[in-house]
Structure formats: structure tokens, C-alpha cells
Amino acid sequence: MEKFLRDAAEFLPILLQGVGLTIVVTLGSLILSTVLGLVWALLRVSGVRALAGVSAGLINLIRGIPIIVLLFYLYFVMPDFGIALSALQAAIIGLGLAYSAYQAENFRAGIEAIDRGQIEAAQAIGMGWWLTMRRVILPQAVRIVLPPYGNIMIMLLKDSSQASTITVAELALQGKLIASSTFKNTSVFTLVALMYLTMSIPLILLVRHFEKKAGHR
């Protein structure tokens, strides 16, 4: 135990740098996936068959490709087409794209759960499609969507470790580097696990809060 604490004191500063990048990747891809997911979901429920088809196709395409392959594609293949992304950019875009598919399905489920009478009431006072979405459907859908959204946040936090495969020096990669140079595998990976867990706990509590709130109404 004493040895572990000594190791911890030594490695913590380096690992914390990794935590910083983990948070950047997670937040960046969370925002991107939320925006894209909302766009896909709105296309899907637009009532325009062509748009819904495009959205459904995109979602299935994204869902069918492993995140790691998506990341490799963005980081190693795109330069061949003249698009050179930094590792961090590729990580955020790749994870953002991958998760936009899950976000979209969550948002769509939330939107479709709203009673049809709500749409009719909005139409009956002259609201168009977008106004109905903005003022009537989305505010109600948020409540339904939030608990699963919290779970997606937790999954995204953990999947941000996949950015290590394209050289983003986030928490997992920092841990791996320290472990391979010091051979203190047990201390290092225990620390890494504890740090992921520490970041997850606030999110888990947040999900619980959302679920309670959703249950109340």
C-alpha cells in the first residue's frame, strides 16, 4: 500500500495531464455528437421521405463501423485526400461522429414518445414544423431523453480512451507509457482505473438525478 502511494505521488502529475486531454476529447465529442445527433434525429422525423432516408442510411453506416476504424480512417486515411487532421481533432470528430448515431436514436425515441395530440394542438394554433419542434416537442422530449443521455456521456468518457490508438496522449495512453517505461503495471493501471471511476461518479450521480426528475412528472 505504501509503495502504491509513493508511486501514485510520482505518477499523478503526468496522469493528470492525460486527464486534461481525456476531458477535452470527451467534452468536444459530446458537443459534436449532440449537435449532429439532433440534426440526424430532426431529419428522421421531418416527414420528408428523402431526408429521413438519408438520415437512416447515415446512422446505420456510422453504427456499423467500429470506433477504432473510424479513428484510423480520419487520422491515417484522410491525409491521402489532402485533409490532415491533428490527432486531437481526429479523435473529437471520430468519436463525435460515432456517438452521433446513438444520440440520434435516443433523440428520435424521445421525440416520437410525445403524444400526437401535442403536435395537433400546435398545428391548430398555426405553428409550423420548426416552431412546433422548438416550442412544443423538444422541451417535452428533453425530459425523456436525459437519463439515456447521461448514460451516453459515461460511455463516451470511457470510449475516449480509444483516442490513444491515434496518439492522443489522454489518460489511457499516458498510463500505458508510464507502465511500459517503469514496469509498475499494477500501480499505474490501478491509478488509471481509479481516475476514470472518479470522473464517472459525478456523471452517474447526474443520471440518477435526471431519472428521479423524469419519474416525477
Partner 1 sequence: MIELRDVHKRFGPLEVLKGIAARVEKSEVVCIIGPSGSGKSTILRCINGLESYDAGAILVEGARVDSRAPSIVAIRTQVSMVFQRFNLFPHRTALENVIEGPIYVKNEPRAEALDRGRALLAKVGLAEKADSYPAQLSGGQQQRVAIARALAMQPKAILFDEPTSALDPELVGDVLSVMRRLADDGMTMVVVTHEMGFAREVADRVLFIDGGVIVEQGAARSVLNQPQHPRTQDFLRRILHPL
Q: Which residues bind partner 1 (CB under 8 A)?
A: 115, 117-118, 120-128, 131, 135-136, 139-140, 143, 217
- Nearest residue (CB) to partner 1, 53 versus 139: 139
Name residues whose C-beta falls within 8 Å of residue 102's C-beta, 6 or more positions apart in sequence: 33, 37, 63, 152, 155
Shortest distance (Å) from residue 46 CB to partner 1? 14
Nearer to partner 1, 46 or 140 (CB): 140
Nearest distance, CB of residue 110 and partner 1, angstroms: 13
- Nearest residue to 145 via CA among 121, 117, 112: 112
Measuring CA to CA, which residue among 159, 44, 141 is closest to residue 99? 159
Q: How far is the CB of 198 from partner 1 (least distance, A)?
A: 35
The DSSP result for 52-84, as a single string, is: HHHHHHHHHHHHTS-HHHHHHIIIIIGGGGT--
Report the candidate in 208, 192, 152, 203 with the shortest Cα–Cα distance to residue 22.
192
148 with 106: CB under 8 angstroms?
yes
Residue closer to partner 1 by CB (options 123, 190) is 123
Q: Toward partner 1, which CB reaches closer, 1 or 217?
A: 217
Minimum Å distance from CB 171 to partner 1? 39
Residue with Cβ nearer partner 1 (15 or 144): 144
